Amino acid sequence: MDCLRNTHCISSPFRPPSLSLVHCSGVSLKARRKCRNTCAASNSETILKSSDITSKKGDEFGDLKSWMHRNGLPPCKVVLKDRPSHDSMHAPIHFVAASEDLQEGDVAFSVPNSLVVTLERVLGNETVAELLTTNKLSELACLALYLMYEKKQGKKSFWYPYIRELDRQRGRGQLAVESPLLWSEAELDYLTGSPTKQYPYDIPTEAFTFEIFKQAFVAVQSCVVHLQKVSLARRFALVPLGPPLLSYRSNCKAMLTAVDGAVQLIVDRPYKSGEPIVVWCGPQPNSKLLINYGFVDEDNSCDRMVIEASLNTEDPQYQGKRLAAQRNGKLSVQNFQVSPCMEYAVLDQLAEYFIKRLAGYPTTLDEDETLVTVNEILDYCNFAFTFVLQFTPSSYCSLQLAI
């Protein structure tokens, strides 16, 4: 959300198509005027510079956790720590770490609903609520607008300490890398050929100042939590002490859950005091993790490479093959997801198949080759061994490749 540092405008930014922003033709003139006034107020004279807000550790607000305790956060078992940033111009990354030794099943923290930003709270803002009721604005865009409105209030906003922390993080994940939505054109070129580069991104309309909205949207996208088994107005939540202060891990089972009057985190593994707390990031490929949270997970079992296969329409057997594919739940043009774990599973199946095939021969490959060179055997035996040798080597080589 720090709009002062990043002046590069990405002419072709991208994001997952499901996060639709806004179609201005469906927004009333009254709402446009209100929104324009709201965003116009968020200029260099009114918003908080991250270089200022991160240096005032001794101000009346204190750090994020102290503010939360003063406003209802019960005693918890975590502490905020610093991690250096790759860019010396940026403040260090904050992360949530265990304040004491934890065991699996311990409650690390429980944030009361009064400290959680959801659409329930956003609907109390007339400007954003009117845009939301047009059905042209996504939940994440609404949360971004709400943060922009609150940031305009400066220190008068109840959320000032939380917004200050989001400014400090600058949409960076725990690898201290910003979302590609904030990258320059030259930096985006490094993604050429990757699935990430394929995502379309609709540039916001004239109702928004692009740079301001982009910073706010990235801040929301990097820290939003998808709560389960709650009402629609609460399913997307911004939770202080949640991401991006928490580290995401695709093989982790711990997740932020809604309980009676709060959002809590129960750890799924032991922690030593000072170790960073990790949570599950959901079943997302690395391309989406990079866009949403600014990191990739080398152990991501959900990472897939999509390969498209199609039947040849000029094939005389095309119609028969198409019907056969339909009977097996496939289309004539089908996408297949390929991953290392799937490759290993297929290789294991192939190895088992070829082992069974080779076990069906009474002799080994070496024995067959030896017998073929013996002149004393009968002609039909020589023919049989020669015939078998046409298939055995291919099965043997395939088995070697599979294992």
3-state secondary structure 219-288: HHHHHEEECCCCCHHHCEEECCCCCCCCEEECCCCCCEEEECCEEEEECCCCECCCCECEEECCCCCHHH
Q: 169 to each of 62, 147, 211, 336, 363, how far by Cα in Å?
A: 17, 15, 17, 37, 67
Amino acid 78: pLDDT: 93
Amino acid 403: pLDDT: 55
Lookup: tokens for 305: 């490479």
* Short-list 124, 59, 53, 39, CA closest to 90: 53
Q: Is 130:28 a contact under the CB 8 Å cutoff? A: yes
At residue 139, the 3 state secondary structure works out as helix
The list of the chain residues with pLDDT below 50 reads 1-58, 176, 197-207, 376-380, 382-383, 385, 387-393
CA–CA distance, 4 with 6 (Å, rounded to integer): 6
DSSP 69-113: HHTTPPP-SEEEEEE--SSTTSPPEEEEEESS-B-TT-EEEEEEG
Q: 137 to each of 42, 119, 127, 203, 338, how far by Cα in Å?
A: 20, 12, 12, 13, 34
Lookup: tokens for 59: 């101000």
Q: What is the pLDDT of residues 145-160, one digit of tens each?
A: 788 878 878 888 898 8
At residue 308, the 3 state secondary structure works out as strand
Q: Is 120:258 a contact under the CB 8 Å cutoff? A: no
Domains along the chain with CATH numbers: 24-293 (3.90.1410.10), 306-402 (3.90.1420.10)
Tokens 């198509």 belong to residue:
17
Give residue 322's identity as a one-letter amino acid code.
Answer: R
Q: Is 294:222 a contact under the CB 8 Å cutoff? A: yes
CA–CA distance, 43 with 37 (Å, rounded to integer): 11
Q: Is 14:196 a contact under the CB 8 Å cutoff? A: yes
CA–CA distance, 218 with 239 (Å, rounded to integer): 15
Q: Is 72:112 a contact under the CB 8 Å cutoff? A: yes
H-helix or E-strand spanning residue 214: helix 210-223
Q: Is 112:262 a contact under the CB 8 Å cutoff? A: yes
CA–CA distance, 157 with 146 (Å, rounded to integer): 11
CA–CA distance, 202 with 14 (Å, rounded to integer): 7
Q: Is 76 left (phi over 0), alpha (psi -120 to 50) or beta?
A: beta
CA–CA distance, 201 with 210 (Å, rounded to integer): 13
Give the long-range contacts of residues 153-160, CB within 8 A, separation 24 or more.
154/46, 154/48, 155/61, 159/117, 160/61
